Amino acid sequence: MTVDLDDPGAIRGADPGEMLGAVAALAGQCRDGYASGVGADGLPDVADVRGVVVCGMGGSAVGGDVLRSVFRDRLGVPIEVNRSAQLPEHAGTHTLVLASSYSGNTSETLAAFEEALRRGCRTIVVTSGGALADRAAGHGVPLIAVPGDLQPRAALGWLAFTGLGALEAAGLLPPMAADVAETVEVLDARAAACAADIPVAENPAKRLAIDLDDRVPVIWGEEGIGAVAAARWKTQFNENGKIPAWWSSMSELDHNEVVGWSEPYGRSYVVIALRHDAEDPEIAERFPLSLAIAAEAGASTEEVRTHARSPLAKLLDLITRGDHVSVYVAIRRGADPTPVDVIQRLKAALAG
């Protein structure tokens, strides 16, 4: 069954959990999340902090990737994203640990948070509730609460921008209000251009969802913000679209993946290059050369480019476009974008 993406009523009917609305609400989440992070009370003293570790899994870790990639070139201290139950060995009293779990019940994040407390790390919690909220309250750890009732991956604005605001308020990040304002403006415009009532011919997200057909997307982005966006596109194709997808970063992929693009395999894939205007000149040169190699192997190729100014707006603009495409991919195939039953089943099996 294929749902007609030119029929807004059919789109609504195929999206009972309203994932399209959640994806379109990203601008407001970023604005409100930033304000609540900047206004957070009781943040730890970070004057002698030598590193930040963001602990989270899945959708709750992406906020950490946003911080890591946007501030890598601007911060004297490293920001690391820890997607495991184990804290890195170097984390200690001079480390700020930001524990991020939308549900507050993710085992890896809870374990890493407990370990951070044991080691005397400075800690901040971002969550909508669950065991993490209880444990933060029990230990007097500053908690930034985000609204519940969303899928974690659809709460990216809350999860990333509360952390951003809190790290700014604590004195680790420079003032970000101008970049946040640009991001909100760019995201609002993008949501309007990709809305359900904009027909396929004028709607880039619907068009790309149709062009994919039943091929597997492979997303490329420049190491840094491009690669973070590429990874997000992949996981959104998986969780919203219910399809396999892969990603890699430029120029790493030019040292291995390009060799694998060969007939007849290419025909099963669409390579989507996520581009921005501040790429390193050599990386900008590599993209068309590498896309041509994939095309020679039979792959279709697409380019998605942002013209936003700040790194933050560039990254979120690339992300929101993939979010929209992934929802239309699901709707077109008659798959419900919202539930992730397989993840719930795994969590239940491991808890039991």
Confirm or reject binding of residue 183 to ligand F6R (CB under 6 A): no
Of 66-74, 102-110, 140-148, 296-304, which segment contacts ligand F6R by CB under 6 A?
102-110
Confirm or reject binding of residue 60 to ligand F6R (CB under 6 A): yes
The correct pick among 29, 36, 69, 101 for binding ligand F6R (CB under 6 A) is 101
The correct pick among 29, 103, 183, 236 for binding ligand F6R (CB under 6 A) is 103
Nearer to ligand F6R, 49 or 97 (CB): 97
Confirm or reject binding of residue 106 to ligand F6R (CB under 6 A): yes
> Which of the 8 DSSP states describes residue 87?
P
Q: How far is CA 326 from the centre of its chain?
A: 13
- 9 burial (CB, 10 Å; 0-12 / 13-18 / 19+) is exposed
In order, the DSSP letters of 125-194 are EEESSHHHHHHHHHTT--EEE--SSS-GGGGHHHHHHHHHHHHHHHTSS---HHHHHHHHHHHHHHHHHT
Nearer to ligand F6R, 103 or 248 (CB): 103
**Ramachandran assignment for 58, one of left (phi > 0), alpha (psi -120 to 50 degrees), beta (any other):** left
Confirm or reject binding of residue 102 to ligand F6R (CB under 6 A): yes
Name which of 236, 148, 220, 173 is nearest 38 in CA terms.
173
Confirm or reject binding of residue 326 to ligand F6R (CB under 6 A): no
Nearer to ligand F6R, 109 or 310 (CB): 109
Distance of closest approach, residue 323 Cβ to ligand F6R, in angstroms: 12
Name which of 241, 261, 35, 248 is nearest 157 in CA terms.
35
Task: Find the length of the chain.
Answer: 352
Distance of alpha carbon 230 from alpha carbon 249, whole angstroms:
8
List Cβ neighbours of 22 (8 Å cut-off, separation of 6 or more): 150, 151, 154
Distance of closest approach, residue 137 Cβ to ligand F6R, in angstroms: 18
Confirm or reject binding of residue 27 to ligand F6R (CB under 6 A): no
The correct pick among 36, 151, 290, 301 for binding ligand F6R (CB under 6 A) is 151
Q: How far is CA 146 from the centre of its chain?
A: 17
Cα–Cα distances in Å, from 183 out to 58, 160, 163, 225, 246? 23, 13, 16, 14, 26
Confirm or reject binding of residue 322 to ligand F6R (CB under 6 A): no
Nearer to ligand F6R, 259 or 351 (CB): 351
Distance of closest approach, residue 170 Cβ to ligand F6R, in angstroms: 22
Active-site position among 222, 239, 279, 302: 239
Nearest-CB residue for ligand F6R:
58
Q: Is 242 a catalytic residue?
A: no
Distance of closest approach, residue 156 Cβ to ligand F6R, in angstroms: 9
Binding track over 215-254 against ligand F6R, x by CB under 6 A = ------------------------x---------------
Q: Is 324 a catalytic residue?
A: no
List Cβ neighbours of 192 (8 Å cut-off, separation of 6 or more): 198
- Across the beta sheet with 246-250, the strand order is 246-250, 216-222, 269-276, 300-306
122 in Cβ contact with 49 (< 8 Å): yes
The correct pick among 33, 37, 51, 59 for binding ligand F6R (CB under 6 A) is 59
Containing H/E element for 51?
Answer: strand 51-55
Distance of closest approach, residue 175 Cβ to ligand F6R, in angstroms: 28
Site size for ligand F6R, by CB under 6 A?
15
Confirm or reject binding of residue 58 to ligand F6R (CB under 6 A): yes
Q: Is 255 a catalytic residue?
A: yes
Distance of closest approach, residue 338 Cβ to ligand F6R, in angstroms: 9
Distance of closest approach, residue 66 Cβ to ligand F6R, in angstroms: 14
Q: Which residues are catalytic?
A: 239, 255, 347
**Given the rule CB under 6 A, which residues bind ligand F6R?**
57-60, 101-103, 106, 109, 151-153, 239, 340, 343
